[in-house]
Amino acid sequence: GAVVSQHPSRVICKSGTSVKIECRSLDFQATTMFWYRQFPKKSLMLMATSNEGSKATYEQGVEKDKFLINHASLTLSTLTVTSAHPEDSSFYICSARDHRAGGFYEQYFGPGTRLTVT
């Protein structure tokens, strides 16, 4: 089955620093990857859609200058949380679509990254 990895799985950083999270599709190519944020016992909040070779599409209310997304290849997308603050602490999950899927939108999720900003 399709596998998506995320790195790191956990990260603790100090307020004001930047953190980069990587999302990789391991056995398929993904023209589109998605970045979600999930608060405890809450639903998935889509932050942005990452398209290979083009700019990410951000959801309303998500600061693109704070959450930098780069989708440099068909297997890698990165999310950088810049100048992190404690309110950025959350569970960040990426997902990817197999580019051969066509109209089938099944998404494969990464294991998530737990970010804690102190």
Partner 1 sequence: GQQVMQIPQYQHVQEGEDFTTYCNSSTTLSNIQWYKQRPGGHPVFLIQLVKSGEVKKQKRLTFQFGEAKKNSSLHITATQTTDVGTYFCAGPGTGKLIFGQGTTLQVKP
Which parts of this chain interact with partner 1 (CB under 8 A)? 32, 34, 41-44, 46, 49, 57, 93, 95, 103-112
**What is the token pair recorded at 31?**
């023209």
Q: Least distance to partner 1 from the beta carbon of 104, Å?
A: 7
Identity of the residue, 9 or 118, whose beta carbon is nearer to partner 1 in the bound complex: 9
What gap in Å lies between CA 26 and CA 2, rounded to an integer?
A: 7
Q: Are the beta carbons of 106 and 51 closer than 8 angstroms? A: no
Q: Least distance to partner 1 from the beta carbon of 66, Å?
A: 20
Q: Least distance to partner 1 from the beta carbon of 23, Å?
A: 12
Task: Work out the number of other CB atoms within 10 angstroms of the CB of residue 26.
Answer: 12
Give all strands (DSSP E) within 26-89, no chain letters. Answer: 32-38, 44-51, 57-58, 67-73, 76-81
Q: Are the beta carbons of 34 and 50 closer than 8 angstroms? A: yes
Identity of the residue, 29 or 57, whose beta carbon is nearer to partner 1 in the bound complex: 57
Q: Least distance to partner 1 from the beta carbon of 4, Å?
A: 9
Identity of the residue, 19 or 48, whose beta carbon is nearer to partner 1 in the bound complex: 48
Identity of the residue, 19 or 92, whose beta carbon is nearer to partner 1 in the bound complex: 92
